[in-house]
Amino acid sequence: MSRCTATKNLEVHHKRRDGGNGIDNAQILCHQCHENTATYGTDGKSSSPFSEATKEAALKRAGNRCECEKDNCHG
Ligand SMILES: [Zn+2]
Ligand SMILES: [Zn+2]
C-alpha cells in the first residue's frame, strides 16, 4: 500500500485557492502531503481560512485520515 494513510499532523488543505472556505473546498492532508501540494507556501491570493466547524466536519468526513491519493507522495 503506497497511498498515504497518515492519521497524525493532519491539516486542512484548500483544494482550490479561490474556492472559498466551504467544506467542498477542504481536503484533509497530513503535513508532509500538504507541503507537497503545488500551492503550499507560494505567493498569491491567500485563501480564506476554514472555520473550526468546517475543519471538524472535514476531519470527520475523512475519517481522521490523510485524503491524499497520490502514490508514493513522500517517503
Ligand atoms: Zn499524507
Ligand atoms: Zn500525499
DSSP class per residue in 14-53: ESSTTS-SSGGGEEEEEHHHHHHSTTTT--SSPPPPPPHH
User: What is the mean pLDDT of the segment spanning 47-74?
Assistant: 94
| CA atoms of 71 and 25, how far apart (whole Å) | 22
Q: What pLDDT is recorded for position 1? A: 57
All residues with CB under 5 Å from ion ligand 2:
4, 33, 68, 70, 73
Residue 60 confidence (pLDDT) above 70:
yes
Residue 3 domain flag: no
Residue 72 domain flag: no
* Ligand 2 geometric centre to CA of 74 (Å): 6
Residue 69 domain flag: no
**44: pLDDT confidence band, cut at 50, 70 and 90?**
low
Q: What pLDDT is recorded for position 45? A: 65
Which residue segment(s) compose the domain that 35 sits in? Answer: 10-62
Residue 68 domain flag: no
For residue 28, the ligand closest to its alpha carbon is 1
For residue 11, the ligand closest to its alpha carbon is 1
Residue 18 confidence (pLDDT) above 90:
no
Give the pTM.
Answer: 0.88
